[in-house]
């Protein structure tokens, strides 16, 4: 198997398995426990939300799941691949092929057009520039931005920028979509539309979507919710059974 490839998995199978993970940030004499013995699972075909108040460790958990942050103990399996057993270079390669990112601030490069921004994940995988743009244009058509291919991000509204960010996350058909506070920069209505789009285009058999949020208005889009508090997962259940305090 290609070290950068994740094994394929069917709908309902475990995509991400976090076991007894601890992450400590050195902070002088009193280290900060960002994650304390966290165990958590996310399944294929589902949209899993990690929720909780600010500073509870949601974003840290997201960072360790996608391998951008190393853990101090425990293990993380993503589509059957143990991140701890991979070298830094292998993790980077794994991430470029299998993970799509939607950042809170979108992080669209302002000097690149919409279509150029969306084609970046493909170019990182050594796609021909023209073919990458063709595929990026196709996915932008799907999200209703076919007329804005040559626009620059600053010429778009917040909702349109979020759609570009979603397109960039999906363009290389990753198995795992990581989404950090997708509604934080949007008003309620636009945030709702963005989640609808994410649910419609990202959730597919064999693909896992993990969303970190503290916006309770979008909890209804989740299939599974894990609630965190003080570096621990205190509740993990189907969204239908989740009752927000």
Q: For the CB of residue 35, give the shortest distance to other proteins in the complex, in Å.
A: 13
Element (H, E) at 39: strand 32-43
Q: Tell me, rounded to whole angstroms, the distance of Cα 113 from its chain centroid.
A: 23
Q: Which is nearer to other proteins, 45 or 174 (CB)?
A: 174
Nearest to 4 by CA among 95, 68, 88: 95
The single residue among 42, 116, 197, 211 that binds other proteins, judged by CB under 8 A, is 116
Q: Is 124 a residue that touches other proteins (CB under 8 A)?
A: yes
Torsion of CA 35, 39, 44, 45, to 10 degrees: -70
Q: For the CB of residue 106, give the shortest distance to other proteins in the complex, in Å.
A: 9
Q: For the CB of residue 12, give the shortest distance to other proteins in the complex, in Å.
A: 28
3-state DSSP percent of the chain in helix, strand and coil, to 5 = 35, 25, 35
Sites for other proteins among residues 160-189 (CB under 8 A): 180
Q: Which is nearer to other proteins, 68 or 75 (CB)?
A: 68
**Backbone region of residue 169 per phi and psi (left: phi > 0; alpha: psi in -120 to 50; beta: other values):** alpha
The single residue among 104, 142, 151, 214 that binds other proteins, judged by CB under 8 A, is 104
Q: In the sheet that 32-43 helps form, which strands lie side by side, from edge to edge?
A: 32-43, 14-25, 73-78, 81-82
The answer to whether residues 235 and 41 touch, using CB atoms and an 8 Å cutoff, is: no
Number of residues in contact with other proteins under rule CB under 8 A: 30
Give CA–CA dist 173/205, Å, rounded. Answer: 12
Q: For the CB of residue 2, give the shortest distance to other proteins in the complex, in Å.
A: 14
Q: Is 101 a residue that touches other proteins (CB under 8 A)?
A: yes
Sites for other proteins among residues 61-100 (CB under 8 A): 62-63, 66, 68-69, 89, 92-93, 95-97, 99
The stretch near other proteins (CB under 8 A) out of 121-129, 141-149, 192-200, 227-235 is: 121-129
Q: Is 128 a residue that touches other proteins (CB under 8 A)?
A: no
The answer to whether residues 227 and 51 touch, using CB atoms and an 8 Å cutoff, is: yes
Contacting residues toward other proteins, per CB under 8 A: 59, 62-63, 66, 68-69, 89, 92-93, 95-97, 99, 101, 103-105, 107, 109-112, 116, 120-121, 123-125, 129, 180
């Amino acid at each position: 198997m290609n070290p950068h490839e994740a094994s394929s998995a069917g709908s309902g199978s475990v995509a991400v398995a976090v076991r007894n993970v601890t992450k400590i940030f050195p902070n002088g004499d009193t280290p900060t426990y960002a994650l304390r013995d966290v165990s958590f699972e996310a399944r294929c075909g589902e949209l899993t939300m990690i929720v909780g108040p600010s500073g509870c460790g949601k974003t840290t958990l997201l960072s360790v799941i996608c391998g951008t942050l190393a853990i101090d103990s425990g293990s993380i399996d993503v589509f059957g691949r143990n991140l701890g057993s991979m070298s830094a270079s292998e993790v980077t390669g794994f991430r470029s092929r299998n993970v799509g990112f939607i950042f809170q601030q979108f992080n669209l490069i302002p000097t690149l057009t919409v279509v150029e921004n969306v084609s970046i994940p493909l170019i990182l995988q050594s796609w021909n520039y023209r073919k990458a743009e063709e595929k990026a244009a196709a996915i932008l058509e799907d999200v209703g931005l076919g007329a804005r291919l040559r626009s620059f991000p600053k010429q778009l509204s917040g909702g349109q920028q979020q759609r570009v960010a979603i397109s960039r996350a999906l363009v290389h058909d990753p198995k795992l979509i990581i989404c950090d506070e997708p509604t934080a920069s949007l008003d309620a209505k636009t945030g709702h539309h963005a989640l609808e789009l994410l649910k419609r285009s990202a959730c597919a058999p064999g693909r896992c979507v993990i969303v970190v949020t503290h916006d309770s208005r979008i909890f209804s889009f989740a299939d599974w919710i894990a609630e965190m508090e003080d570096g621990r997962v205190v509740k993990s259940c189907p969204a239908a059974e989740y009752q927000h305090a």
